[in-house]
Amino acid sequence: MSEAVIRVVGLGKSYVTAAGLFPALKGVDLTIDRGEYVAIMGPSGSGKSTFMNLLGCLDKPTSGDYFLVERNVAQMPGDELAILRNRTIGFVFQGFNLLPRSSLEDNVGLPLVYSHIKREPRRKKAREMLARVGLEGYANSLPARISGGQQQRVAIARALINSPSLILADEPTGNLDSHTSEEIMELFGQLNDEGITVILVTHEADIAAHARRQVRFLDGHIVSDLQTSGRGSNAC
């Protein structure tokens, strides 16, 4: 009954450096099913960021295949990848990455601009999303007027607005204190409970502990892939 949202086969990525070809990712195989909550872990230089960029369709692999919702996207042209990023993937970044001069409503509605949705339905949907992350009434505020935790909620609302197949969060709590981090992780847990696939990239074990599955990278390989009891079990 579970279908694969992500299936990568022999995925490799090499960078051209002054010292020659540097393989950052050396033939990775991984399948993530709909509704999973996966943490991708590993120290810096392990290849997890490269993997994340490939999963997010921000980059193209040098070898292997990547099936996103059953479509091989490995060698898709840039414009089609942009459409995938718009419709299929919701990004949450460590630095929130809200547009500082746009209202929260406009920030949340931004993906819909690129799906050619008109202004009124866009605003309506953006307000709904803000309410979903507990920020109703902030529609016209600017990002600088709210706290970091609230900004990350706005970013999550933005990621959710196009009903993506998966949420890709890159160190989502990296800029937050531990209390706020817990709140954000709770929100991810909640979204996962609603059936949304969540992929978390982190190097913090206690953040990764919220996920139900932990995939560990080292030197461009997956070194462990564990099902865990899931969130909350070893919360601090």
124 binds other proteins (CB under 8 A): no
Binding string, residues 158-187; x marks residues near other proteins by CB under 8 A: x---x-------------------------
Output the smallest distance, CB 114 to other proteins, in A: 4
List, in sequence order, every residue forming a beta bridge with 12; answer none if it has no partner.
63
Token match 């002054």: residue? 18
Burial of residue 126 (CB within 10 Å: 0-12, 13-18, 19+) is buried
List the one residue from 12, 25, 42, 53 that touches other proteins (CB under 8 A): 53
User: What whole-number distance in Å separates Cα of residue 142 and Cα of residue 148?
Assistant: 12
Output the smallest distance, CB 172 to other proteins, in A: 14
Considering beta carbons, is residue 78 or 233 the nearer one to other proteins?
78
Ranges within 64-93 binding other proteins (CB under 8 A): 78-79, 82-83, 85-87, 91, 93
Output the smallest distance, CB 166 to other proteins, in A: 14
Residues 6+ apart with CB under 8 A from 36: 5, 197, 198, 212, 213
List, in sequence order, every residue forming a beta bridge with 154; answer none if it has no partner.
none
Part in contact with other proteins (CB under 8 A); list of ranges 18-26, 117-125, 188-196, 211-219: 117-125
As given in the structure block, the two tokens for residue 175 are 């800029």
Tell which phi-psi region holds residue 219, choosing left (phi > 0), alpha (psi between -120 and 50) or beta.
left
Considering beta carbons, is residue 90 or 189 the nearer one to other proteins?
90
Measured between its terminal Cα atoms, the distance across the chain in Å is: 35
Binding site for other proteins (CB under 8 A): 53, 56, 58-59, 78-79, 82-83, 85-87, 91, 93, 97, 99, 101-102, 106, 110-111, 113-116, 118-119, 122, 158, 162
